[in-house]
Structure 1
Amino acid sequence: MFMKDRIPTWLAVGGYVAIAAVATVTLPQIFNPLEWYYVVVIYLFAPALAFCNAYGCGLTDWSLASTYGKLAIFVIGAWAGKSQGGVLAGLAACGVMMNIVSTASDLMQDFKTGYLTLASPRSMFVSQVIGTAMGCVIAPCVFWIFYSAFPDLGQQGSEYPAPYAVVYRNLAILGVEGFGSLPKHCLALCYALFAAAILTNVVRDTVPKKWARFVPIPMAIAIPFYIPQPFAIDMCVGSLILFIWETRDKAKANAFGPAVASGLICGEGIWSVPKSILALAKVNPPICMKFLSRRTNLKVDDFLATLSR
């Protein structure tokens, strides 16, 4: 049922070549340090990496597109060099690679759903094209709303500090300047923590299941270190809700947990749009809550006491 309506191979190959040609011509005009032959090399190697990402995502439901993007940062950044704008070239190459690799895994996940529901792959593909065309208009508009509502977007200490931007920029600098730009003992710490993460995973996979659930997952520990506090708190609260739910009704928690989590994530994401609109209208919240250190809180109390006198 699913295979009888498959997409012709010539269409897939021809479409990929056409997109590569357009990208090779247009991207160097947008990002001057990104030479045309960098883009050609990316599109030559991307299919193999896209296959790996789609295969792994199908098995684990976890896309590693950002990992392949980091690979492009290091390779293209080092190839361009510092004098030729290697940082910008590496970041642009990362965007190109991530778009190719992530699209492959996203399409594969959708086709997997179509296979299970006996849907037509052609109709799904056409829907993807329509959705992508809509995104080309909607995404810039949403970004414009954010950019207009929050002038300090991306700056440290702002409401939206864009932590990934800092991480990826530093990766690009590292790719251009080499390991010599790292602080003292940084590599030694990286090696030690890498070995500790591997050892922890080995222990978790080898000990009996009743003990394995008490062994922490290194990736889960690492994620809160490079995402802002609200996301880390949301993940912690969500995990606590799921833990309590599993203790009360494990069957329902396993069945409906992903759906509830998806709803919570979707709801929070949707709220950011009206929040930006309210910020554009200069509407301030009725109350403000802050968490201060004990020393700072004492200073605030002393200052308020002087005002009351």
Structure 2
Amino acid sequence: MSSLNQRAPWRGQISAAGILIGCIGCVIITASSVYTALKMGALPWPTIFTSITALVLLRAAGRTSLNEANVTQIIMSAGSMVAGGLAFTIPGVWMLGLDAELSWIEIGGVALAGTLLGLVCTALIRRRFVEESDLEYPIGTAAAETLMASRAGGATGKRLFGSMAAAGIWCALRDLAGVIPAMIGALPIPGVAFGIYNSPMLLSVGFLVGGAAVAFWLAGGLIANFGIIAGGSAAGLWDVASAQGIVSSLGMGLMMGSGIGVVVRDILPAAFRSAHNGRRDDDRANAPARAFGKLDRSVLSLFVATAALLVCLVLGLSPIACAVVVVLAFVTTIMSAQSVGQTGIDPMEIFGLIVLLVIAALGESDQVRLFFVAGVVAVACGLAGDVMSDFKTGKIIGTDPRAMWIGQAIGALIGCAVSVAVMCALLNAYGADAFGPGKLFVSAQASVVATMVSGIPSVPAFVLGLVAGVALYCLGIPSMMLGLGVYLPFYMTLSASLGAAVKIAYDRVASIRNARANGNVAANADTGAPDETSHEETGIIVASGVLGGESIVGVIIALASVASGLLG
């Protein structure tokens, strides 16, 4: 970024229409992201969805600038990762029965401190990790391709909002009217939650994640539920309760091992290469400082100071612990940027756990404060990972970095308020007992954090999972997905697998159609080649709309429940 007092083209890339659309979209996307993260134990990247939505709505308003659309989608999507950082950590407080010790002011302090640190970090590392590196940022690259394709016309808008409406109606019939069952094909297998969850959202998650990753997800579910729980208990190796403790510990170990694997395989080698590059990397390291004007540095310093005060005064950590959190937040956001740039995966709660363990080693024993630490870091890492992908999009299509950073700040700060409000609304509507494995809100990542704070059911299984997670990731095997399958209830795994099966069938039908179209083109070369990627974009559009429809309706139902309770 250049100095804030310098007039630059970025002003033309932020419009009143873009800000208005972005802010409204941010409220909706953030609220639905909280629900999605708590309900599904996962948070698919919203970038493609928001890019398409921004294009459709801006074109309806008579605006066609791709850069304006990019800034608008950044505003829309930034809050979602703030929501993810909170949803992946804070509900663990309720799982441990500590909800009486947690206020909305403290949740807000976690969100705001993490957001401010994330904003500062993205400003500092953008040049190094986007402009000067060869990191791919697959999500950001895909968003750029979507924007450049400029296909978000009337048909795309109809698909997007039509699928969103259909999913919303379906879920209203299921959750409000009760005319559609929530579970199909349930079987009474001891210790195994077998069945198909009637959730358009889960189907769309499986569709978007794809066959290969979901195959490991399913493999983890089969090993855990039918190998360890059903098979092991039938063989007399352990009882069902012990088997469930082994499974949860193994799943946590695999997920945490995958996060450590990111550091071992991806981040440390890059750091060593940079260390051996000598003066050239020293110059690069100083580049961010040269990129900021005096007013810029003052603003960023104010953000850091405010975050530190929030951690000390609102969250109650000691000054030493506060300093460690701030420093390690910068370190972990760099790790997040590296991970997202190489793999498209951002294990934000794992980075939060790393800092949590450091703070615990320094003598902090208050469990709620440890959750605060994990939450601050997870929010910062989630925000950094998301927006670094957006910066990659901007680099490809030529969006000014300052415009993107301002959009990030707007969306992230709105996301703070919305995510805190939605989490408190869900807590008031359903109670603390609704959060945890096998309950209404699975909150898988928060459960991992809670277990690390309160104690691990099976230490040997956790250690085995930890080692296996690191080794598998280093071998190129998605141990995070394997661990997710081990940890989550089997009905969720099975339902997502059906979505992946739909994706395989969909791709097969599209491949046959493309082959036929190619044959027609060969017969008449003047007609040009058919578009072989349109079916993929259509699938993403419809699946994103379906996912958004259920999550939005879920939030609306929760808010309506709170409102009726207040009025009653």
Q: Give the alignment's TM-score, normalised by structure 2.
A: 0.40
User: Matches of 1:194 and 1:98 in 2, distance apart?
Assistant: 20
- Whether 1:90 aligns to 2:370 is yes
User: Matches of 2:420 and 2:554 in 1, distance apart?
Assistant: 15
Return the match for 2:464 from 183, 186, 189. Answer: 189
User: Matches of 1:231 and 1:220 in 2, distance apart?
Assistant: 13
CA shift, 1:57, in A, is 0.9
Return the match for 1:30 from 282, 305, 314. Answer: 314
For the aligned residue pairs, the C-alpha RMSD in angstroms reads: 3.3
Residue 443 of structure 2 corresponds to which residue in structure 1? Answer: 162
Distance 1:36 1:104, change over 3 A: same
Q: Letter of the 1:265 partner, please give it.
A: L
Residue 501 of structure 2 corresponds to which residue in structure 1? Answer: 240
- Whether 1:65 aligns to 2:340 is no
1:31-79 Cα deviation digits (max 9, x unpaired) = 33x2122121222233333223213312322223222111111111121
User: Matches of 2:445 and 2:466 in 1, distance apart?
Assistant: 22
User: Matches of 2:349 and 2:412 in 1, distance apart?
Assistant: 20
CA shift, 1:5, in A, is 5.8
CA shift, 1:282, in A, is 6.8
1:174-200 Cα deviation digits (max 9, x unpaired) = 5xxxxxx663643563367447735xx
Distance 1:155 1:223, change over 3 A: closer
**Is the 8 Å Cα contact of residues 25 and 36 (structure 1) preserved in structure 2?**
no
**Is the 8 Å Cα contact of residues 333 and 380 (structure 2) preserved in structure 1?**
yes
Distance 1:13 1:230, change over 3 A: farther
CA shift, 1:168, in A, is 0.4
Residue 261 of structure 1 corresponds to which residue in structure 2? Answer: 543
Q: The residue matched to 1:9 in structure 2 has which SS?
A: coil
Distance 1:255 1:156, change over 3 A: closer
1:10-49 Cα deviation digits (max 9, x unpaired) = 46654443222112222233333x2122121222233333
May I ask how many residue pairs the two structures share in their alignment? 257
Residue 120 of structure 1 corresponds to which residue in structure 2? Answer: 400
Q: Letter of the 2:443 partner, please give it.
A: A
- Whether 1:20 aligns to 2:304 is yes
Q: Letter of the 2:464 partner, please give it.
A: L
User: Matches of 2:471 and 2:334 in 1, distance apart?
Assistant: 30
User: Matches of 2:425 and 2:337 in 1, distance apart?
Assistant: 33
CA shift, 1:102, in A, is 2.2
User: Matches of 2:436 and 2:479 in 1, distance apart?
Assistant: 29
Q: How does 1:68-217 map to 2 (within 5 A)?
A: 68-82=351-365, 85=366, 87-151=367-431, 152-154=433-435, 158-174=439-455, 183=458, 185-186=460-461, 189-190=464-465, 193-194=468-469, 197=472, 202=475, 217=478
Q: Letter of the 2:509 partner, please give it.
A: R
User: Matches of 1:191 and 1:26 in 2, distance apart?
Assistant: 33
Q: The residue matched to 1:80 in structure 2 has which SS?
A: coil
User: Matches of 2:300 and 2:351 in 1, distance apart?
Assistant: 19
Deviating more after overlay: 247-256 vs 94-103: 247-256
CA shift, 1:255, in A, is 4.3
Residue 28 of structure 2 corresponds to which residue in structure 1? Answer: none
CA shift, 1:239, in A, is 0.9
**Is the 8 Å Cα contact of residues 77 and 89 (structure 1) preserved in structure 2?**
no
**Is the 8 Å Cα contact of residues 163 and 227 (structure 1) preserved in structure 2?**
yes
In the alignment, structure 1 segments of 5+ residues that lack a partner are 175-180, 206-215, 284-309
User: Matches of 1:192 and 1:80 in 2, distance apart?
Assistant: 26
Q: Letter of the 2:401 partner, please give it.
A: P
Q: Letter of the 2:453 partner, please give it.
A: A
**Is the 8 Å Cα contact of residues 469 and 479 (structure 2) preserved in structure 1?**
no
Q: The residue matched to 1:97 in structure 2 has which SS?
A: helix
**Is the 8 Å Cα contact of residues 49 and 101 (structure 1) preserved in structure 2?**
yes
Q: Letter of the 1:17 partner, please give it.
A: S
Higher relative contact order (CA 8 A, sep 6+): 2
**Is the 8 Å Cα contact of residues 391 and 404 (structure 2) preserved in structure 1?**
yes
User: Matches of 1:184 and 1:101 in 2, distance apart?
Assistant: 28
User: Matches of 1:57 and 1:141 in 2, distance apart?
Assistant: 28
In the alignment, structure 2 segments of 5+ residues that lack a partner are 3-7, 11-122, 124-290, 512-531
Identical columns (%): 21
